[in-house]
Amino acid sequence: MSHRVRVNPIACEAHGMCAELLPERITLDEWGYPLIDGAPLEGEQVEHAVRAARACPTFALLVERERSARRRR
């Protein structure tokens, strides 16, 4: 089971907390919006990602569990 981060671009207001708390996966663009490396999180990064998601003032950062292949379409 792997985890990835994703952003809700409508909710995001460029506070930038996520890039502070998960710099391994998130940098900011020239307007302050997160550029996300969507590769699976490794080891402790999951914990940091969850912390970043909780710290986001607009709850725009999502830590998603990889959907299993059995998912019905």
User: Which stretches of the chain bind another protein, using CB under 8 A?
Assistant: 8-14, 29-33, 35, 72-73
| Nearest to another protein of 43, 73 (CB atom) | 73
- Nearest approach in angstroms of CB 16 to another protein is 11
Q: Which is nearer to another protein, 44 or 72 (CB)?
A: 72
Q: Which is nearer to another protein, 70 or 73 (CB)?
A: 73
- Rounded Cα distance between 46 and 3, Å, is 7
- Both tokens of 32, joined, read 């302050």
Q: Residue 51's CB: how many other CB atoms inside 10 A?
A: 14
Residue 56 contacts residue 15 (beta carbons within 8 Å): yes
The least distance separating another protein from the CB of residue 43, rounded to whole angstroms, comes to 27
Quote the least distance from Cβ 64 to another protein, whole Å.
Answer: 10
User: What whole-number distance in Å separates Cα of residue 57 and Cα of residue 26?
Assistant: 16
